[in-house]
Amino acid sequence: MTPPALLVERLAYAYPDGHQALFGVNLRVEHGERVAVLGPNGAGKTTLVLHLNGVLTGQGNVEVAGLPVEKATLKEVRRRVGIVFQDPDDQLFMPTVREDVSFGPANFGLRGTDLAARVKRALDDVGMADHADRSPMHLSGGQRRRVALATVLACDPDILVLDEPSANLEPRARRELAEVLLGLDRTTLMVTHDLPYALQLCPRSVVIDDGVIVADGPTRELLADADLLARHRLELPFGFRLD
C-alpha cells in the first residue's frame, strides 16, 4: 500500500510560553488531493502548517509520503513540502526578487539556464516577471505575497501548503492564482478564510477549532451546514449563494 501524501497523527503542540495550540490533530491527505483548512483566528491552522516541514515539532506523528518528519529527514521533507507562509516577510530575505526566487531551486542543485527558466516560469505564474530585479522590501503587500508564492513554486514541491494565499490580493490576482493552482495538479493544503476560494479550489475541507479537527468532508457539504459554520465563526460573504 502506498503511504498517503501527508499523514498527521495525534499531533499536539504547546508553544514555549505554555500556550497549547494543538490537542491531537489527525489528518490524512492522499496524493493529488486539494484540501482546504478552515477555522477561526487562533484555531491552530498556522501551527499545524508549521509542523508539515518541521519548522515546529510537537508530540505525535507527521509523515510526508511515508517519511517521518524529524531532524534527520528535514532536508528531504523540505524538498517535498513547500510552504507559503502566512506572512511573506518570513519568506523574503534577498536583495532582489530574482535572488529570492532562485534561492530554493539553487539550494536543491539547479544551475545556469535550468535555474533561470525555473525562476522565470515561477515569476510568470504569479505575474511578477517584470519585477524580478526589484527589492522585495519595496513591493506592495500583495506583490510580496505573490513573490513568496513564486519562491515555493520555483522549488516544484510534491506538496504545496499555502497559508492564506488570497489575503491581500486584488480580485484579479486572486483569480489568476486560482488558475495557477488548478493547473498544477499537485497535492495541496490551503489554509484560508476565503470560503468561496476553498469551494473553488478544494473538493475537500477540514475545519479546525481550538486545536482539533472538528469537521472533515466535501467542501460544498461543509459550507452548506449553517450550524457548523456558525459554531466555528465561519461566514460566507454577503450575498454568496451555494448552488
By CB under 6 A, name the binding residues for ligand ATP. Answer: 15, 17, 19, 21, 39, 41-47, 86
Other Cβ atoms closer than 10 A to 1 = 4
Q: What distance in Å separates the CA atoms of residue 203 and residue 208, rounded to the nearest whole number?
A: 17
Q: Which of 5, 6, 46, 153 binds Mg ion (CB under 5 A)?
A: 46
Q: Which stretch binds Mg ion (CB under 5 A): 84-92, 119-127, 131-139, 210-218?
A: 84-92
Q: What distance in Å separates the CA atoms of residue 85 and residue 79, rounded to the nearest whole number?
A: 16
In the complex, residue closest to Mg ion by CB: 46
What is the CA 91 to chain-centroid distance, rounded? 13
Least distance from ligand ATP to the Cβ atom of residue 50, Å:
8
Q: What distance in Å separates the CA atoms of residue 239 and residue 233, rounded to the nearest whole number?
A: 17
Pick between residue 46 and residue 187 the one whose CB is nearest to Mg ion.
Answer: 46
Taken in order 195, 201, 202, 203, the sign of the CA dihedral is positive
Q: Which stretch binds Mg ion (CB under 5 A): 71-79, 82-90, 147-155, 206-214?
A: 82-90
Least distance from ligand ATP to the Cβ atom of residue 14, Å:
9
Q: What distance in Å separates the CA atoms of residue 30 and residue 187, rounded to the nearest whole number?
A: 8
Q: Which stretch binds Mg ion (CB under 5 A): 32-40, 41-49, 50-58, 204-212?
A: 41-49
Pick between residue 41 and residue 113 the one whose CB is nearest to ligand ATP.
Answer: 41
Contact 166, 197 (CB under 8 A): yes
- Residues forming contacts to Mg ion in the complex (CB under 5 A) are 45-46, 86
